[in-house]
Amino acid sequence: MRAWWVCGFLPFLAAAAAAADPAKGNWEPLIRLPTEKGDAPAPAASAAEDGVTKWAVFVAGSSGYGNYRHQADVCHAYQILRKGGLKEENIVVFMYDDIAKNDLNPRPGVIINHPKGEDVYAGVPKDYTGKQVTAKNFFAVLLGNKTAVTGGSGKVINSKPKDHIFIYYADHGGPGVLGMPNRPYIYAGDFIKVLREKHASKSYSKMIIYVEACESGSIFEGLLPEDLNIYVTTASNAVENSWGAYCPGMKSSPPAEYDTCLGDIYSVSWMEDSETHNLKKETLKQQYEVVSLEYTLFILVSGI
């Protein structure tokens, strides 16, 4: 796991927190959500604070039931941000959407990201699905270019100079490339060019990018300019693999009816950390250190 520009707070994930209770097989809240009653409810993380709007783009870059984990990761990430208060209108989701209702899915209409987890598919918007999940649409959405988008909801990141943007991608990767269900793929040079263009448009103040893919460090290492005010962590460096989580045969395996991985180690590590910590207080550097340790321990325990 690698990180660049390690500093600052976690502005997108705050206010949602839960922990797994193995004995009960469910999630128990540790921190009140913005909608829950109580003496000191958490403030909505998505509320415009001093003119700041928070945006998110989620991309599951694969298709097919064998890649169940990528769409499960993205759906889970969506639920975390929504529970944290981010408005649906400020979240754009790319996923092929061929998993929940797939004939091979043992729980039709349901997607889980943890062996004892709840459904993370319900309520996830279908902004760009099927043939609309393309690098071209992803770049257009990030740049806020509605006229360049083909199909889908037409939702784009219409951000302003003070705004914050979170990008999360999950799929397969290789040296300098990230997969997409429809070609062309996302190539490092093209992605960096778009990030430069977004910065030049003065349409954000801070950006966070989390990438789950093999060799994902190659997208940024030596390529990402230091003056774009972008913080990045990746599941692997430029030459490493990333790994699935909650796979058949692992110590933490999925329910018996599943013959596929439910998530990815890096992804479930940062999301489960986000659900067990008060992210109004935990910094990005602290989360990086926690996730890096969890990633290593997960691999050791799983015998990968």
> For this structure, is 214 an active site residue?
yes
In a domain, 121, yes or no: yes
In a domain, 6, yes or no: no
Residue 56's pLDDT band (boundaries 50, 70, 90)?
A: very high
Give CA–CA dist 107/49, Å, rounded.
40
Residue 26, strand partner residues: 21
In a domain, 5, yes or no: no
Among 172, 247, 261, 277, which one carries the catalytic annotation?
172
In a domain, 139, yes or no: yes
Among 70, 75, 114, 214, which one carries the catalytic annotation?
214
49 Ramachandran zone, left/alpha/beta (phi>0; psi -120 to 50): beta
Q: What is the pLDDT of residues 202-250, one digit of tens each?
A: 999 999 999 999 999 999 999 999 999 999 999 999 999 999 999 999 9
Domain membership of residue 186 as a residue range: 51-302
Element (H, E) at 2: strand 2-4
Give CA–CA dist 24/117, Å, rounded.
11
CATH value at residue 129: 3.40.50.1460
CA distances from 160 to 163, 175, 202, 227, 282 (A): 5, 33, 7, 18, 26
Q: What is the pLDDT of residues 265-302, one digit of tens each?
A: 999 999 998 887 665 676 777 777 877 777 677 666 66
In a domain, 19, yes or no: no
> For this structure, is 76 an active site residue?
no
In a domain, 60, yes or no: yes
In a domain, 38, yes or no: no
**pLDDT of 62 strictly over 70:** yes
Choose the weakest-confidence range: 6-20, 99-113, 167-181, 182-196: 6-20
Structurally, the chain folds into a number of domains equal to 1
In a domain, 187, yes or no: yes
- Tokens found for residue 229: 């005010």
